[in-house]
Chain A
């Protein structure tokens, strides 16, 4: 090749390209603050899988928004979990079945409309009716007339509204339940019970594009799948007015990216620290890392419908397996302390006065290889000599801990093949197999509480035929104690009753409690007074910026 006008030219072109490739992002992002607005919190968010309506949101991400834009009759104190009156002035009952609810005066929606008794009754009727396909419809099942608006067969409803709801006047309505339910008023802090303005019913599509509520924030703009901008609402009259100017919720597809953005100063708050970063999070963030218990418990549930796993002899085997799991080691090595070994079937967020009782599980939840071996042998050994732990492989890092649990069991039983993990491809498929009673061994189960009540940790999970009783456990003694607890007129008596019921679980071990899950969050130097509530959702209104 001879001398070179062309190569010189090419070289120039090349260098120009390199410069532009490097320089353009420089000039484009020279500001570097990532669009931080004064007084506004930039927080990570996930795209809610269902439309944003109060009775239709059952995931944490959607719940976050509802918690900002709605206030219901009750609200759970973010520190203690106690159900306190929010919009309710008083909720009265003489028989634990008929309730009269009176609202506070002069509360309004962000569009100026008054919050009246009808705002609640209409919202609940909407949520319960089967035609609206609301995911949380079953929350209204204790109200009389539910079977008419939401027939169990899925057919056409024979009534449009719940017969148990009556508006008495602008500020008062009555509720009649199908059974005695003493802790029912305390469940009313759940988002599904939020009131709805007339705008919701008049132009539903427009409301979904830009929800209007009555909470400390209002939605300024919402681009589905990318960002929701919320701003503090001046007209809010509750005690928990927003201390910042607003919150931008940004959708992240990967929590690793959110964490990187936090490090780069483009984001202020990450409420789900990725597992890979847990090793470094202390050195990265120092005090700006929060790791505190949330109302979530993980269990290994047994298929009680399977002959091989039911019966009194197998109760020994189930207890033995529980004793064979080294919870302390697994929570430390795999979860880096973001889980706490469980010793009962509830959660520490209930606190002792709410029904949490550490150690209720007793010896069965203590790692004891020798006794575990003995118990499993006494119960006739593992069915067929081996067991599988089924889990869904598409989300979370279930494989890691399932393998660890199996490893622990194998070590105790001195066999490599006693326990193996059995992954199922997708969560939906996993749920379908569970519903179809196709599990052949213990399987992963997680329960995130709907409200901080001991009732919520026991009844939906272990009562005969209950909605989330995936192991199909059934015990008449347990059911009777739950019924008695629900009928108790005093709070303390109800909690004591549920604790007695819980002792049945400790004897029979239909589900092995593994660990309580913590909420973990990290935040930037711009923020202060960041805290998580019992649902591991940041208490946004409290956060101060700058």
Chain B
């Protein structure tokens, strides 16, 4: 197990370097960002040249990348155009998005697995059909629609929640955005759990457990659910990374100043240090979440072992 984890960690290094280079290349390909700093007015060529020189933009791409990676390994991620170090942006953005993601994941896990188990155990009955129908609707409605509608209903019509989140972004204010963010994943979790439960309900070990006369809740939670959770855990694991990066829409609607916001600003202003820095951290989060998922398999199903 330990060796397996170590091997996986080592594998992350090439993935990390490759992905940062790709992102760097893509942002670079967008063109020269300096002209936009001057607004609708033509930049003064001398000042623009100085800024380019300062940001290493007058160097060839590989030199820029080398310089950037040198900074990264010394714990620096460069500075954004407004003069703020990117690490400072990260320190303010990641905790917020992390909280938002936690709300979304807890919501999707708790409700999704519960609904999935309930409908899976009552396959073909009224509850099952309505849950399936409901998830279909949720999957079909894009986040920006559900987000704006819920924001308007809860925030303006009923006045139950704030339509926007304050800069401190306390957990309580993140509940509504978190639910919106987790909604689509919730539908997938429900459907995955349901299918998995339905499939495993007829498995030999469940029949054995029933024959042994184990209490019903024990059969469901210890035997049936535990085995059925493997695909669900895989999904949720990869979803954590996707949620953190994909929060752009939700964060924009609810004015949350998190990772999505910084990424959006970074792309809009073609600020490569911001974009590459944030995506780099997201890549690491994604890789770690995947590793965690793989390690969890062994906990859920002891037959799975790692050498």
Q: Which of B42-50, B68-76, B227-235, B296-304 contacts A (4 or more CB under 8 A)?
A: B42-50
Instruction: Say yes or no for B156: interface residue by CB 8 A criterion.
Output: yes
Instruction: Say yes or no for A479: interface residue by CB 8 A criterion.
Output: no
Are B173 and A51 interface neighbours, CB within 8 A? no
A58-B39, A154-B46 known; A29 vs B255 contact (CB < 8 Å): no
A135-B47, A225-B92 known; A428 vs B159 contact (CB < 8 Å): no
Q: Which of A80-88, A232-240, A251-259, A500-508 contacts B (4 or more CB under 8 A)?
A: A251-259
- Cα distance A253–B36 when bound, in Å? 18
Are A225 and B46 interface neighbours, CB within 8 A? no
- Distance (whole angstroms) from the CB of B12 to the closest CB of chain A: 30
With a CB–CB cut-off of 8 A, which chain B residues contact A2? 216
- Cα distance A32–B121 when bound, in Å? 42
Are B47 and A133 interface neighbours, CB within 8 A? yes
Instruction: Say yes or no for B236: interface residue by CB 8 A criterion.
Output: no
Instruction: Say yes or no for B185: interface residue by CB 8 A criterion.
Output: no
- Distance (whole angstroms) from the CB of A507 to the closest CB of chain B: 25
Are B42 and A253 interface neighbours, CB within 8 A? no
Are B46 and A447 interface neighbours, CB within 8 A? no
Against A, the Cβ 8 Å flags (1 = close, 0 = not) of B40-83 are: 11111111011100100000000000000000000000000111
- Cα distance A13–B110 when bound, in Å? 9
Are A51 and B164 interface neighbours, CB within 8 A? no
Closest to B96 in A: A226
- Cα distance A263–B151 when bound, in Å? 12
With a CB–CB cut-off of 8 A, which chain A residues contact B83? 50-51, 208
With a CB–CB cut-off of 8 A, which chain A residues contact B179? 21
Closest to B161 in A: A25
Instruction: Say yes or no for A9: interface residue by CB 8 A criterion.
Output: yes
Instruction: Say yes or no for B295: interface residue by CB 8 A criterion.
Output: no
With a CB–CB cut-off of 8 A, which chain B residues contact A25? 154, 160-161, 172-173, 175-176
Q: Which of B111-119, B135-143, B276-284 contacts A (4 or more CB under 8 A)?
A: B111-119
With a CB–CB cut-off of 8 A, which chain B residues contact A152? 45-46
Name A425's contact: one of B30, B114, B253, B255 (CB within 8 Å).
B30
Instruction: Find residues 375-405 in chain A having any chain B CB closer than 8 Å to their own CB.
Output: 394-395
- Distance (whole angstroms) from the CB of A517 to the closest CB of chain B: 12
Are A428 and B47 interface neighbours, CB within 8 A? no
Instruction: Say yes or no for A431: interface residue by CB 8 A criterion.
Output: yes
- Distance (whole angstroms) from the CB of A395 to the closest CB of chain B: 8
Instruction: Say yes or no for A464: interface residue by CB 8 A criterion.
Output: no
- Cα distance A261–B165 when bound, in Å? 10
Instruction: Say yes or no for B268: interface residue by CB 8 A criterion.
Output: yes
Are A28 and B173 interface neighbours, CB within 8 A? yes
Are A49 and B117 interface neighbours, CB within 8 A? no
With a CB–CB cut-off of 8 A, which chain A residues contact B51? 133
Are A226 and B167 interface neighbours, CB within 8 A? yes
- Cα distance A446–B40 when bound, in Å? 7
Closest to B115 in A: A14
- Cα distance A2–B213 when bound, in Å? 13
A21-B175, A253-B264, A428-B30 known; A266 vs B114 contact (CB < 8 Å): no
Instruction: Say yes or no for A353: interface residue by CB 8 A criterion.
Output: no
With a CB–CB cut-off of 8 A, which chain A residues contact B32? 428-429, 432
- The residue in A251, A253, A256, A429 that gathers the most chain B C-beta atoms within 10 A of its C-beta is A253
- Distance (whole angstroms) from the CB of A347 to the closest CB of chain B: 14
Against A, the Cβ 8 Å flags (1 = close, 0 = not) of B114-131 are: 110110011000000000
Instruction: Say yes or no for A1: interface residue by CB 8 A criterion.
Output: yes
A25-B154, A28-B173 known; A264 vs B257 contact (CB < 8 Å): no
- Cα distance A468–B42 when bound, in Å? 5
- Distance (whole angstroms) from the CB of A436 to the closest CB of chain B: 10
Instruction: Say yes or no for B223: interface residue by CB 8 A criterion.
Output: no
Are A435 and B42 interface neighbours, CB within 8 A? yes
With a CB–CB cut-off of 8 A, which chain B residues contact A426? 30-31, 36, 268, 270
With a CB–CB cut-off of 8 A, which chain B residues contact A395? 268
With a CB–CB cut-off of 8 A, which chain A residues contact B115? 14
With a CB–CB cut-off of 8 A, which chain A residues contact B81? 49-50
Are B156 and A154 interface neighbours, CB within 8 A? no
- Distance (whole angstroms) from the CB of A31 to the closest CB of chain B: 10
Instruction: Say yes or no for B99: interface residue by CB 8 A criterion.
Output: no
Are B257 and A226 interface neighbours, CB within 8 A? yes
Are B261 and A253 interface neighbours, CB within 8 A? yes
A17-B111, A35-B166, A428-B32 known; A58 vs B47 contact (CB < 8 Å): no
- Cα distance A48–B39 when bound, in Å? 11
Are A266 and B30 interface neighbours, CB within 8 A? no
Are A58 and B38 interface neighbours, CB within 8 A? yes
- Distance (whole angstroms) from the CB of B190 to the closest CB of chain A: 12
Name A260's contact: one of B37, B117, B155 (CB within 8 Å).
B155
Against B, the Cβ 8 Å flags (1 = close, 0 = not) of A99-130 are: 00000000000000000000000000000001
- Cα distance A435–B48 when bound, in Å? 12
With a CB–CB cut-off of 8 A, which chain A residues contact B254? 257
- Distance (whole angstroms) from the CB of A248 to the closest CB of chain B: 10
- The residue in A138, A153, A208, A425 that gathers the most chain B C-beta atoms within 10 A of its C-beta is A138
Closest to A150 in B: B46
With a CB–CB cut-off of 8 A, which chain A residues contact B170? 28
- Cα distance A429–B36 when bound, in Å? 8
Closest to A6 in B: B217
A48-B82, A152-B46, A394-B268 known; A251 vs B162 contact (CB < 8 Å): no
Instruction: Say yes or no for B34: interface residue by CB 8 A criterion.
Output: yes
With a CB–CB cut-off of 8 A, which chain B residues contact A250? 167
Closest to A60 in B: B39
With a CB–CB cut-off of 8 A, which chain A residues contact B92? 223, 225-226
Instruction: Find residues 452-486 in chain A having any chain B CB closer than 8 Å to their own CB.
Output: 460, 467-470
Instruction: Find residues 1-34 in chain A having any chain B CB closer than 8 Å to their own CB.
Output: 1-2, 4-7, 9-11, 13-14, 17, 21-22, 24-29, 32, 34
Instruction: Say yes or no for A336: interface residue by CB 8 A criterion.
Output: no
A28-B172, A29-B162, A257-B252 known; A134 vs B167 contact (CB < 8 Å): no
List 6 A-B pairs, minimum CB-CB distance, nearest first: A28-B172, A431-B35, A226-B167, A428-B36, A25-B161, A154-B46
Instruction: Sample 19 A-B pairs with CB under 8 A, ordered by A number.
Output: A7-B121, A17-B110, A25-B154, A28-B161, A133-B51, A153-B46, A225-B257, A225-B261, A253-B265, A257-B151, A260-B151, A260-B152, A261-B163, A266-B163, A425-B30, A428-B32, A431-B35, A435-B42, A468-B40
**Interface residues of B, Cβ cutoff 8 Å to A:** 30-47, 49-51, 54, 81-84, 88-89, 92, 107, 110-111, 114-115, 117-118, 121-122, 148, 151-152, 154-156, 159-164, 166-167, 170, 172-173, 175-176, 179, 215-217, 220-221, 251-255, 257, 261-262, 264-265, 268-270
**Interface residues of A, Cβ cutoff 8 Å to B:** 1-2, 4-7, 9-11, 13-14, 17, 21-22, 24-29, 32, 34-35, 47-51, 58-59, 130-131, 133-135, 137-138, 150-154, 208, 223-227, 250-254, 256-258, 260-261, 263-264, 266, 394-395, 425-429, 431-432, 434-435, 445-448, 460, 467-470
